[in-house]
Amino acid sequence: MKFISVLLISFLLLPTQLIVAAEVNVYSARKENLIKPLLDRFTEETGIQVNLVTSQADTLIKRMQIEGRNSPADILLTVDVARLYRTKEHGLFKSIDSEILLNAIPEHFRDKDNEWFGLSLRSRVVVYAPERVNVDALSSYEDLANDKWKNRICVRSSGNVYNQSLVAALIAHNGIEATEQWATDFVNNFARKPKGGDRDQIKAMATGVCDIALVNTYYLAGMLNSDQSEDIEEAAKVKLFWPNQANRGAHMNVSGAGILKHGPNQKEALQLLEFLVSDEAQHWYAETNHEFPVKPGISASNILKSWGEFKADNLDLNLLGENNQQAVLLMDRASWK
Protein backbone atom coordinates (compact mmCIF):
# COMPACT_ATOMS: atom_id res chain seq x y z
CA MET A 1 0.00 0.00 0.00
CA LYS A 2 2.86 2.33 0.91
CA PHE A 3 4.53 1.53 -2.44
CA ILE A 4 1.36 2.46 -4.36
CA SER A 5 1.08 5.74 -2.43
CA VAL A 6 4.67 6.64 -3.30
CA LEU A 7 3.99 5.93 -6.98
CA LEU A 8 0.87 8.11 -6.92
CA ILE A 9 2.70 10.99 -5.26
CA SER A 10 5.55 10.67 -7.77
CA PHE A 11 3.08 10.83 -10.68
CA LEU A 12 1.42 13.94 -9.27
CA LEU A 13 4.82 15.61 -8.96
CA LEU A 14 5.71 14.99 -12.62
CA PRO A 15 6.15 18.17 -14.71
CA THR A 16 2.86 19.01 -16.42
CA GLN A 17 4.53 19.07 -19.85
CA LEU A 18 5.09 15.30 -19.57
CA ILE A 19 1.33 14.67 -19.35
CA VAL A 20 0.24 14.64 -22.98
CA ALA A 21 -3.35 15.68 -23.69
CA ALA A 22 -5.40 13.96 -26.37
CA GLU A 23 -5.33 15.77 -29.70
CA VAL A 24 -6.35 15.55 -33.34
CA ASN A 25 -4.65 17.25 -36.29
CA VAL A 26 -6.94 18.68 -38.97
CA TYR A 27 -5.86 19.86 -42.41
CA SER A 28 -8.66 22.09 -43.65
CA ALA A 29 -9.39 23.66 -47.01
CA ARG A 30 -12.30 25.43 -45.36
CA LYS A 31 -11.59 28.94 -44.11
CA GLU A 32 -10.86 29.05 -40.40
CA ASN A 33 -13.91 31.15 -39.51
CA LEU A 34 -16.17 28.57 -41.22
CA ILE A 35 -15.03 25.65 -39.08
CA LYS A 36 -12.97 26.69 -36.03
CA PRO A 37 -15.91 27.63 -33.75
CA LEU A 38 -17.28 24.13 -34.25
CA LEU A 39 -13.88 22.54 -33.56
CA ASP A 40 -13.59 24.64 -30.39
CA ARG A 41 -16.96 23.32 -29.27
CA PHE A 42 -15.70 19.75 -29.84
CA THR A 43 -12.72 20.52 -27.59
CA GLU A 44 -15.01 21.90 -24.89
CA GLU A 45 -17.12 18.75 -24.91
CA THR A 46 -14.35 16.15 -25.17
CA GLY A 47 -11.15 17.76 -23.91
CA ILE A 48 -9.48 16.76 -27.18
CA GLN A 49 -7.30 19.56 -28.58
CA VAL A 50 -7.79 20.28 -32.28
CA ASN A 51 -4.71 21.50 -34.14
CA LEU A 52 -5.89 23.24 -37.30
CA VAL A 53 -3.88 23.86 -40.48
CA THR A 54 -5.67 25.71 -43.30
CA SER A 55 -4.69 26.08 -46.94
CA GLN A 56 -5.96 25.39 -50.46
CA ALA A 57 -7.21 21.82 -50.92
CA ASP A 58 -4.73 20.90 -53.67
CA THR A 59 -1.88 22.33 -51.59
CA LEU A 60 -2.88 20.21 -48.61
CA ILE A 61 -3.23 17.06 -50.73
CA LYS A 62 0.24 17.62 -52.19
CA ARG A 63 1.63 18.27 -48.72
CA MET A 64 0.23 14.99 -47.42
CA GLN A 65 1.71 13.13 -50.38
CA ILE A 66 5.14 14.59 -49.62
CA GLU A 67 4.82 13.89 -45.88
CA GLY A 68 3.80 10.29 -46.58
CA ARG A 69 3.79 8.02 -43.53
CA ASN A 70 5.25 10.86 -41.46
CA SER A 71 2.27 13.16 -42.02
CA PRO A 72 0.80 14.46 -38.76
CA ALA A 73 -2.60 14.94 -40.42
CA ASP A 74 -5.47 12.90 -38.98
CA ILE A 75 -8.35 14.44 -40.94
CA LEU A 76 -8.75 16.33 -44.20
CA LEU A 77 -11.71 18.72 -44.27
CA THR A 78 -12.50 20.19 -47.67
CA VAL A 79 -15.18 21.54 -49.96
CA ASP A 80 -16.47 19.81 -53.06
CA VAL A 81 -16.57 16.09 -53.66
CA ALA A 82 -13.93 16.29 -56.42
CA ARG A 83 -11.22 17.08 -53.83
CA LEU A 84 -12.41 14.28 -51.57
CA TYR A 85 -12.37 11.87 -54.51
CA ARG A 86 -8.86 13.04 -55.50
CA THR A 87 -7.58 12.43 -51.98
CA LYS A 88 -9.00 8.91 -52.08
CA GLU A 89 -7.43 8.27 -55.50
CA HIS A 90 -4.02 9.16 -54.05
CA GLY A 91 -4.54 6.48 -51.41
CA LEU A 92 -4.49 8.92 -48.50
CA PHE A 93 -7.82 8.08 -46.83
CA LYS A 94 -8.73 4.96 -44.88
CA SER A 95 -12.07 3.15 -44.80
CA ILE A 96 -14.10 4.11 -41.73
CA ASP A 97 -16.32 1.70 -39.81
CA SER A 98 -18.84 3.87 -37.96
CA GLU A 99 -22.54 3.16 -37.46
CA ILE A 100 -22.98 6.78 -36.38
CA LEU A 101 -21.71 8.10 -39.71
CA LEU A 102 -23.55 5.51 -41.78
CA ASN A 103 -26.84 6.18 -40.01
CA ALA A 104 -26.51 9.97 -40.16
CA ILE A 105 -25.41 10.46 -43.78
CA PRO A 106 -27.50 9.33 -46.79
CA GLU A 107 -25.68 6.89 -49.04
CA HIS A 108 -25.36 9.21 -52.06
CA PHE A 109 -23.60 11.84 -49.90
CA ARG A 110 -20.72 9.55 -48.86
CA ASP A 111 -18.02 7.46 -50.47
CA LYS A 112 -19.02 4.01 -51.65
CA ASP A 113 -16.04 2.57 -49.72
CA ASN A 114 -16.67 4.74 -46.63
CA GLU A 115 -13.43 6.68 -47.08
CA TRP A 116 -15.03 10.14 -47.09
CA PHE A 117 -18.31 11.53 -45.77
CA GLY A 118 -20.32 14.62 -46.64
CA LEU A 119 -20.82 16.90 -43.63
CA SER A 120 -22.91 19.72 -45.10
CA LEU A 121 -24.72 20.39 -48.36
CA ARG A 122 -24.95 23.22 -50.85
CA SER A 123 -26.64 23.61 -54.21
CA ARG A 124 -25.25 25.39 -57.26
CA VAL A 125 -28.23 27.39 -58.44
CA VAL A 126 -29.33 30.11 -60.82
CA VAL A 127 -29.64 33.63 -59.46
CA TYR A 128 -31.24 36.30 -61.60
CA ALA A 129 -32.06 40.01 -61.74
CA PRO A 130 -35.87 40.14 -61.42
CA GLU A 131 -36.06 43.58 -63.06
CA ARG A 132 -34.57 42.15 -66.26
CA VAL A 133 -35.50 38.46 -66.18
CA ASN A 134 -38.98 36.97 -66.11
CA VAL A 135 -38.83 33.97 -63.80
CA ASP A 136 -41.11 32.07 -66.18
CA ALA A 137 -38.26 32.10 -68.73
CA LEU A 138 -36.05 30.03 -66.40
CA SER A 139 -36.19 26.25 -66.25
CA SER A 140 -32.98 24.20 -66.14
CA TYR A 141 -29.19 24.19 -66.30
CA GLU A 142 -29.52 22.88 -69.84
CA ASP A 143 -31.63 25.89 -70.85
CA LEU A 144 -28.79 28.27 -69.99
CA ALA A 145 -27.28 27.29 -73.34
CA ASN A 146 -30.29 28.77 -75.14
CA ASP A 147 -29.36 31.80 -77.24
CA LYS A 148 -32.07 33.84 -75.51
CA TRP A 149 -29.42 34.30 -72.78
CA LYS A 150 -26.79 35.68 -75.20
CA ASN A 151 -24.46 38.15 -73.41
CA ARG A 152 -26.47 37.80 -70.19
CA ILE A 153 -24.63 35.23 -68.02
CA CYS A 154 -21.88 35.69 -65.40
CA VAL A 155 -19.95 32.72 -64.02
CA ARG A 156 -16.63 31.80 -62.45
CA SER A 157 -13.79 30.26 -64.43
CA SER A 158 -13.52 26.64 -65.50
CA GLY A 159 -10.73 26.28 -62.93
CA ASN A 160 -13.35 26.56 -60.18
CA VAL A 161 -14.11 23.11 -58.81
CA TYR A 162 -17.79 23.95 -58.18
CA ASN A 163 -18.27 24.53 -61.91
CA GLN A 164 -16.30 21.39 -62.69
CA SER A 165 -18.61 19.34 -60.49
CA LEU A 166 -21.72 20.81 -62.11
CA VAL A 167 -20.37 19.83 -65.52
CA ALA A 168 -19.43 16.40 -64.14
CA ALA A 169 -23.05 15.99 -63.04
CA LEU A 170 -24.29 17.01 -66.48
CA ILE A 171 -22.00 14.38 -68.02
CA ALA A 172 -23.51 11.77 -65.69
CA HIS A 173 -27.03 12.77 -66.69
CA ASN A 174 -26.67 13.67 -70.38
CA GLY A 175 -23.42 12.12 -71.64
CA ILE A 176 -20.20 13.72 -72.84
CA GLU A 177 -21.29 14.70 -76.35
CA ALA A 178 -24.47 16.50 -75.27
CA THR A 179 -22.68 18.18 -72.36
CA GLU A 180 -19.88 19.44 -74.60
CA GLN A 181 -22.42 20.99 -76.96
CA TRP A 182 -24.15 22.53 -73.94
CA ALA A 183 -20.87 23.97 -72.63
CA THR A 184 -19.99 25.46 -76.03
CA ASP A 185 -23.36 27.19 -76.30
CA PHE A 186 -23.26 28.21 -72.63
CA VAL A 187 -19.89 29.94 -73.11
CA ASN A 188 -21.32 31.85 -76.07
CA ASN A 189 -23.87 33.37 -73.68
CA PHE A 190 -21.30 34.87 -71.29
CA ALA A 191 -21.69 38.59 -70.62
CA ARG A 192 -17.96 38.85 -69.80
CA LYS A 193 -14.90 36.66 -69.40
CA PRO A 194 -15.14 34.56 -66.23
CA LYS A 195 -13.50 36.18 -63.23
CA GLY A 196 -13.85 36.45 -59.48
CA GLY A 197 -15.77 34.33 -57.00
CA ASP A 198 -19.46 33.64 -56.54
CA ARG A 199 -20.04 36.86 -54.64
CA ASP A 200 -18.47 38.77 -57.54
CA GLN A 201 -21.03 37.28 -59.92
CA ILE A 202 -23.84 38.47 -57.65
CA LYS A 203 -22.30 41.94 -57.45
CA ALA A 204 -21.92 42.06 -61.23
CA MET A 205 -25.60 41.25 -61.62
CA ALA A 206 -26.59 43.88 -59.08
CA THR A 207 -24.73 46.52 -61.12
CA GLY A 208 -26.21 45.44 -64.45
CA VAL A 209 -23.22 43.63 -65.97
CA CYS A 210 -25.30 40.47 -66.46
CA ASP A 211 -28.79 39.16 -65.79
CA ILE A 212 -28.08 35.58 -64.65
CA ALA A 213 -25.33 33.82 -62.70
CA LEU A 214 -24.48 30.42 -61.26
CA VAL A 215 -23.60 30.49 -57.55
CA ASN A 216 -23.56 28.24 -54.51
CA THR A 217 -26.48 28.87 -52.17
CA TYR A 218 -24.40 29.71 -49.10
CA TYR A 219 -22.67 32.63 -50.85
CA LEU A 220 -25.98 34.38 -51.47
CA ALA A 221 -27.16 33.54 -47.94
CA GLY A 222 -23.91 34.88 -46.51
CA MET A 223 -24.32 38.19 -48.32
CA LEU A 224 -27.92 38.54 -47.14
CA ASN A 225 -26.73 37.88 -43.58
CA SER A 226 -23.62 40.08 -43.85
CA ASP A 227 -22.65 42.84 -41.44
CA GLN A 228 -21.79 44.96 -44.50
CA SER A 229 -24.75 46.98 -45.74
CA GLU A 230 -23.37 46.99 -49.29
CA ASP A 231 -23.43 43.18 -49.41
CA ILE A 232 -27.02 43.09 -48.21
CA GLU A 233 -28.13 45.73 -50.72
CA GLU A 234 -26.49 43.92 -53.65
CA ALA A 235 -27.82 40.50 -52.66
CA ALA A 236 -31.32 41.94 -52.25
CA LYS A 237 -31.31 42.94 -55.93
CA VAL A 238 -31.23 39.31 -57.10
CA LYS A 239 -33.45 36.29 -56.62
CA LEU A 240 -32.77 32.58 -56.48
CA PHE A 241 -34.18 30.01 -58.88
CA TRP A 242 -34.07 26.25 -58.30
CA PRO A 243 -33.24 24.60 -61.67
CA ASN A 244 -34.58 21.32 -63.05
CA GLN A 245 -37.55 21.08 -60.72
CA ALA A 246 -39.58 19.44 -63.48
CA ASN A 247 -37.17 16.51 -63.70
CA ARG A 248 -34.11 15.42 -61.68
CA GLY A 249 -33.78 18.39 -59.31
CA ALA A 250 -31.13 20.99 -58.43
CA HIS A 251 -27.43 20.04 -58.43
CA MET A 252 -26.06 19.23 -54.97
CA ASN A 253 -22.53 19.07 -53.57
CA VAL A 254 -20.92 18.67 -50.16
CA SER A 255 -18.26 19.85 -47.81
CA GLY A 256 -16.83 16.72 -46.29
CA ALA A 257 -13.98 14.92 -44.60
CA GLY A 258 -12.09 11.69 -44.25
CA ILE A 259 -9.57 10.16 -41.87
CA LEU A 260 -6.00 9.93 -43.18
CA LYS A 261 -4.45 6.48 -43.39
CA HIS A 262 -1.27 7.36 -41.50
CA GLY A 263 -2.76 9.80 -38.98
CA PRO A 264 -1.34 9.31 -35.46
CA ASN A 265 -4.63 9.99 -33.66
CA GLN A 266 -7.13 7.63 -35.28
CA LYS A 267 -9.48 7.29 -32.28
CA GLU A 268 -9.73 11.03 -31.75
CA ALA A 269 -10.21 11.60 -35.48
CA LEU A 270 -13.23 9.30 -35.52
CA GLN A 271 -14.65 11.06 -32.47
CA LEU A 272 -14.40 14.37 -34.29
CA LEU A 273 -16.06 13.12 -37.48
CA GLU A 274 -18.90 11.62 -35.47
CA PHE A 275 -19.29 14.91 -33.60
CA LEU A 276 -19.59 16.77 -36.91
CA VAL A 277 -22.76 14.83 -37.76
CA SER A 278 -24.30 15.31 -34.32
CA ASP A 279 -27.51 17.34 -34.11
CA GLU A 280 -25.58 20.18 -32.46
CA ALA A 281 -22.97 20.39 -35.20
CA GLN A 282 -25.51 20.06 -38.00
CA HIS A 283 -27.59 22.88 -36.52
CA TRP A 284 -24.41 24.98 -36.41
CA TYR A 285 -23.67 24.36 -40.09
CA ALA A 286 -27.22 25.44 -40.90
CA GLU A 287 -27.48 28.55 -38.73
CA THR A 288 -23.92 29.87 -38.94
CA ASN A 289 -22.69 28.88 -42.42
CA HIS A 290 -26.12 28.71 -44.09
CA GLU A 291 -25.37 25.30 -45.50
CA PHE A 292 -27.98 22.58 -45.72
CA PRO A 293 -27.52 19.89 -43.06
CA VAL A 294 -26.47 16.53 -44.49
CA LYS A 295 -28.31 14.75 -41.68
CA PRO A 296 -32.03 14.30 -42.38
CA GLY A 297 -34.41 15.96 -39.95
CA ILE A 298 -32.22 18.96 -39.09
CA SER A 299 -33.84 22.29 -39.90
CA ALA A 300 -32.23 24.74 -42.35
CA SER A 301 -31.62 28.40 -41.51
CA ASN A 302 -34.40 30.96 -41.95
CA ILE A 303 -32.71 32.40 -45.04
CA LEU A 304 -32.55 28.99 -46.70
CA LYS A 305 -36.15 28.29 -45.71
CA SER A 306 -37.22 31.59 -47.29
CA TRP A 307 -36.26 30.20 -50.71
CA GLY A 308 -38.90 27.52 -50.37
CA GLU A 309 -38.96 23.76 -50.71
CA PHE A 310 -37.09 22.34 -53.67
CA LYS A 311 -36.33 19.05 -55.36
CA ALA A 312 -32.67 18.03 -54.99
CA ASP A 313 -30.77 15.87 -57.46
CA ASN A 314 -29.99 12.56 -55.74
CA LEU A 315 -27.15 11.67 -58.10
CA ASP A 316 -24.44 9.56 -56.47
CA LEU A 317 -21.74 12.14 -55.71
CA ASN A 318 -19.00 9.60 -56.37
CA LEU A 319 -19.76 10.25 -60.05
CA LEU A 320 -18.72 13.90 -59.69
CA GLY A 321 -15.24 12.77 -58.73
CA GLU A 322 -15.10 10.07 -61.37
CA ASN A 323 -16.15 12.52 -64.11
CA ASN A 324 -13.99 15.44 -62.96
CA GLN A 325 -11.12 14.96 -65.42
CA GLN A 326 -13.52 14.56 -68.34
CA ALA A 327 -15.35 17.70 -67.20
CA VAL A 328 -12.14 19.76 -67.11
CA LEU A 329 -11.08 18.63 -70.60
CA LEU A 330 -14.58 19.24 -71.96
CA MET A 331 -14.70 22.77 -70.54
CA ASP A 332 -11.32 23.49 -72.11
CA ARG A 333 -12.52 22.31 -75.51
CA ALA A 334 -15.59 24.55 -75.12
CA SER A 335 -13.25 27.55 -74.49
CA TRP A 336 -14.61 28.02 -70.96
CA LYS A 337 -11.59 29.86 -69.57
| Alpha-carbon distances, residue 134 vs 130, 221, 239 (angstroms) | 6, 22, 11
Query: Collapsing DSSP states into helix, strand and coil, what is residue 45?
Result: helix
CATH class for the region spanning 2-120+254-299: alpha beta
Q: What angle in degrees, to the nearest 10, is found between the helix axes of 81-89 and 324-333? A: 120
User: Would you list the domain boundaries of the chain?
Assistant: 2-120+254-299, 122-251+312-333
Instruction: Note if the pTM is more than 0.85.
Output: yes
Give the per-residue pLDDT at 34: 80
Instruction: Kindly give the confidence (pLDDT) of every residue in the chain, 337 residues in length, as a single tens digit, with 9 standing for 90 and above.
Output: 444 444 444 444 444 443 457 999 999 998 888 899 999 999 999 999 999 999 999 999 999 999 999 999 999 999 899 999 999 999 999 999 999 999 999 999 999 999 999 999 999 999 999 999 999 999 999 999 999 999 999 999 999 999 999 999 999 999 999 999 999 999 999 999 999 999 999 999 999 999 999 999 999 999 999 999 999 999 999 999 999 999 999 999 999 999 999 999 999 999 999 999 999 999 999 999 999 999 999 999 999 999 999 999 999 999 999 999 999 999 999 999 9
Q: Are 238 and 320 in contact (CB under 8 A)?
A: no
Instruction: Return the CATH number of the domain spanning residue range 122-251+312-333.
Output: 3.40.190.10
From start to end of 22-134, where are the E strands? 23-28, 49-54, 75-79, 117-128
Query: In CATH terms, are 2-120+254-299 and 122-251+312-333 the same topology?
Result: yes
Give the per-residue pLDDT at 5: 46
